[in-house]
Amino acid sequence: MIQYPKTSKGSVEDNYFGTAVADPYRWLEDDRSEATKAWVVAENKVTQEYLARIPFRESIKQKLTDIMNYERYSAPFKEGDYMYFYKNDGLQNQAVLYRQKEGGPVEEFLDPNKFSADGTTSLAGISFTKDGSMAAYQISEGGSDWRKVIVLNTADKKQVGDTMIDLKFTGIAWKGNEGFYYSSYDKPKEGSQLSGMTQHHKLYYHKLGSPQQEDVLIFGGEKTPRRYVGAGISEDQRFLIISAANSTTGNELYIQDLTVPGSPIKVIVSNFDTENSVIDNQGSKLFISTTYKAPNSKVVTTDFANPDPSTWKDLIPETENVLSVGTGGGKIFASYLKDAISEVKQYDMNGRLERTIALPGPGSASGFGAKNHEKELYYSFTSYVYPSTIFKYNIETGKSELYKKAGVKFDPEKYESHQVFYPSKDGTKIPMLITYKKGIKLDGTNPTLLYAYGGFGVSLTPSFSTSNIVLLEQGGIYAVPNLRGGGEYGEKWHLAGTKMSKQNVFDDFIAAAEYLIKNKYTSTEKLAVAGGSNGGLLVGATMTQRPDLMKVAFPAVGVLDMLRYHKFTAGAGWAYDYGTSEDSREMFSYLKAYSPYHALKPAKYPATMITTADHDDRVVPAHSFKFAARLQEMHQGTNPVLIRIETNAGHGAGKSTAQIISEQADKWAFMFYNMGVNYKR
């Protein structure tokens, strides 16, 4: 039997609409306390001792090291006289940014591996001036959402001005070569800077060469308090476009003419009811992607002189499939999702369909965007059995040619991926893609990982994972259902998995597991469920509602305390999806009923490995800490219930290759060991 660390219990109680709710592990929310630090060390010790006993753990780690040791490229992009691209030689902790003039030698431009000794400082975005002569790049330390920004002259790579600090949830929008717009919050003063609430986003203008403290507030703050504010500048440099929102769904839209000194910021959309973005302009004519009167999205045009929605004219009308839009070479690229599979159409700027672009097969295509003067673009294509491959596309002729093939050791011909539609509890048909080695027997003995997300309008589309090769080569199955709450079928699908309908998401996931078991893909003893962030909530809710359904559970960086999630970092912005415990007695009761931390009761739970990171300032690690402590208290079976806490990492982005290999090896080792699968290389 595993001896779990003894976790002390406090007497904290909260009162919600007359109902007292105990929170005995509240003290674990203080990530700065010595007691919490000691608890983390003790829990990690137990977890690492358990994992070290798995005989094939190192063999899996070596296998992952071997299969990840291949050159990986990003699609290239043109800035000034150079073509830029990212490349990882194989086992480098972070991809390096290179550049090349046409016909010239390839040269290193930025190597984030030199930013830190252990590879945990990452390049988190870069933005170039229109002429490509300067670049501002963001760095993230230890996976934090708080960023530093450094400006370079691209010719000699020398820094311009001071390093800027404490930017968060921001892009960089250059205004000529004089300066740029960016967004940030005031750094929390009280309590932890990792978990403190970030409420009022502010848009600033930074004049190159001036101190950051002199930056001018353009929008947001106390006058127009908004939780998320972002800015972009039109390609012709005429317009500043501002998006403002209080939640993860719906945004206001503003615009300012930068060619007229003192020009006011003008409102385009004055409410948060729809999703809106300016995708391009021709002079004063604006092209807008919107869900206004079109939950699956459409493209409209209007004029800067009077851009009110009452003047909008449909250019690309809404269809039954969800639309996302890019522009390039004077064309509009409409990417549709048809049952979570990509379909891309090319239109001219008058809304005339020119062609449907031929893709390599069913899968996910991304990257259909370029500058207006460019004659070609580069896009990536992938699926669960098709390693990510880059194609060069001629905008005029519509011809695609292979640009960079993935070098991963994997033979797609040996595997298959097919889509099924299964009924959820209320009869709703849910699509699911199931991937496995050709010729395996569907006799209920196959180790299976069921992975999903189901929230925030996020669409899970087919993508290749080198880590999954470990599962597939063992005769395992990888299944991904497109649950309600996602964006695969537009805003109606999203809303069907929010607030008082959130249980639909868990029902969809449970029904996916039942389908796989009923149809002999797997069995309860060979089923693992996994999800991260909102998907961590999904796993936490599912394993507390149906602990009998799966053998193994992986709730990663999950939102697990649904009564208090909105009190940390930007959590209040998730209320559109979840509602909060303070909204009403009904909302509180609904949240408490499925909140994984509160739903735990004495029972036999599946073998569980909770994963989080000490620098996660998106979904604070307290969620996972409290859930782990209570799970260990309530668990009555012999299955291990562990927590793996990554140090010097955040919510997921920017992890080093070494961290990824180690985490994935531990996942597969834990899963196979608890299913009684003897891993063979």
Whole-angstrom distance, CA of residue 653 vs CA of residue 94: 11
Whole-angstrom distance, CA of residue 170 vs CA of residue 181: 9
Cβ-based neighbour number of residue 405 at 10 Å:
12
Residues 562, 592 contacting (CB under 8 angstroms) = yes
Nearest to residue 613, comparing CAs of 505, 674, 536, 679? 536
Q: 513 by DSSP, 3-state: which?
A: helix
Give the start-end residues of each E strand in 349-413: 353-356, 364-366, 376-383, 386-394, 400-404
Q: 1 by DSSP, 3-state: which?
A: coil
Distances, alpha carbon 174 to alpha carbons 136, 240, 287, 361, 548, in Å = 9, 10, 21, 38, 55
Q: 549 by DSSP, 3-state: which?
A: coil
Cβ-based neighbour number of residue 474 at 10 Å:
19
Nearest to residue 43, comparing CAs of 597, 647, 604, 618? 647
Residues 214, 222 contacting (CB under 8 angstroms) = no
Amino acid at 620: V
Whole-angstrom distance, CA of residue 508 vs CA of residue 33: 40
Q: 467 by DSSP, 3-state: which?
A: coil
Nearest to residue 99, comparing CAs of 61, 132, 67? 132
Helix (H) or strand (E) holding 331: strand 331-338
Whole-angstrom distance, CA of residue 123 vs CA of residue 172: 14
Q: Is residue 206 among the annotated active site residues? A: no
First-to-final CA distance of the chain: 29
Whole-angstrom distance, CA of residue 527 vs CA of residue 450: 7
Q: Catalytic one among 624, 651, 656, 662?
A: 651
Whole-angstrom distance, CA of residue 277 vs CA of residue 240: 12
Tell me the sheet residues that pair with 203: 183, 219
Nearest to residue 511, comparing CAs of 595, 426, 447, 441? 426
Count of H helices and E strands in the chain?
11, 39
Q: Which two tokens stand for residue 165?
A: 């600090």
Q: Catalytic one among 533, 595, 624, 662?
A: 533
Characterise 35 by phi-psi region: left (phi > 0), alpha (psi -120 to 50), beta (else): alpha
Cβ-based neighbour number of residue 342 at 10 Å:
23
Q: Is residue 651 among the annotated active site residues? A: yes
Whole-angstrom distance, CA of residue 392 vs CA of residue 299: 26
Instruction: Provide the CA 68 distance to its chain's centre, in angstroms.
Output: 21
Whole-angstrom distance, CA of residue 487 vs CA of residue 459: 5
Whole-angstrom distance, CA of residue 58 vs CA of residue 666: 9
Using CB atoms within 10 Å of the CB of residue 503, give its burial: 0 to 12 exposed, 13 to 18 middle, 19+ buried: middle
Distances, alpha carbon 100 to alpha carbons 103, 108, 153, in Å = 8, 9, 16
Residues 6 or more apart whose CB falls under 8 angstroms from that of 129 comprise 135, 174, 176, 177
Instruction: Provide the CA 303 distance to its chain's centre, in angstroms.
Output: 34
Which positions are annotated as active-site residues? 533, 651
